[in-house]
Amino acid sequence: MTRPPWEVADVIRRAGNRFIERYRESLTWAQMKVLTAIERCRTAALGGHRDQCVRCGYQAISYNSCRNRHCPKCQTNAREKWLRARQQELLPVGYFHLVFSVPHALVPLMWQNQRVLFTLLFEASAATLLEVASDPKHLGAEIGFLSILHTWGQTLQRHPHVHCVVPGGGLSPDHAQWASSRSHFFLPVKVLSRVFRGKFVAGLRRGFRQKKLSFHGACLPLSNEKAFTALLRTLFRKDWVVYAKPPFGGPEHVLQYLARYTHRVAISNHRIVDVNDAHVTFRWKDYAHHSKRRTMSLTHEEFLRRFLRHVLPKGFPRIRYFGFLANRRRAESLSQCRTLLAHVPPVPPTDFATDPDLWCCPCCQGPMRVIERLTAAQILREESKQVCILDSS
Whole-angstrom Cα distance, residue 69 to residue 325? Answer: 23
At residue 173, the pLDDT reads: 94
Which of 153, 155, 159, 157 has the alpha carbon at shortest distance from 296? 155
- The least confident of 111-125, 196-210, 338-352 is 338-352
| CA 348 centroid distance within chain | 24
DSSP-assigned letters across all residues of 270-323: GGEEEE-SSEEEEEEEEGGGTTEEEEEEEEHHHHHHHHHTTPPPTT--SEEEEE
Q: Is pLDDT above 90 for 380?
A: no
Q: What is the mean pLDDT of residues 366-373?
A: 90
CB 319 within 8 A of CB 146: yes
Helix (H, G, I), strand (E, B) or coil at 66: coil
Q: What is the mean pLDDT of residues 76-89?
A: 80
Q: Is pLDDT above 50 for 141?
A: yes
pLDDT band of residue 389 (cuts 50, 70, 90) is low
At residue 253, the pLDDT reads: 76
- Positive/negative CA dihedral, 103, 107, 108, 113: positive
Instruction: Give me the percent of the chain exceeding a pLDDT of 90.
Output: 70
Q: Is pLDDT above 70 for 392?
A: no
Q: Is pLDDT above 80 for 275?
A: yes
At residue 353, the pLDDT reads: 46
Report the chain's mean pLDDT, rounded to a whole number. Answer: 90
Q: Is pLDDT above 80 for 28?
A: yes
At residue 160, the pLDDT reads: 96
At residue 172, the pLDDT reads: 95
- For 228-238, write each residue's pLDDT tens digit: 999 999 999 98
What is the 8-class DSSP label of residue 146? E
At residue 81, the pLDDT reads: 80
Q: What is the mean pLDDT of residues 46-56?
A: 91
- For 150-202, write each residue's pLDDT tens digit: 999 999 999 999 999 999 999 999 999 999 998 888 999 999 999 999 999 99
At residue 256, the pLDDT reads: 73
Q: Is pLDDT above 60 for 391?
A: no
Q: What is the mean pLDDT of residues 8-24?
A: 95
- The least confident of 60-64, 179-183, 255-259, 366-370 is 255-259
At residue 21, the pLDDT reads: 95
At residue 207, the pLDDT reads: 97
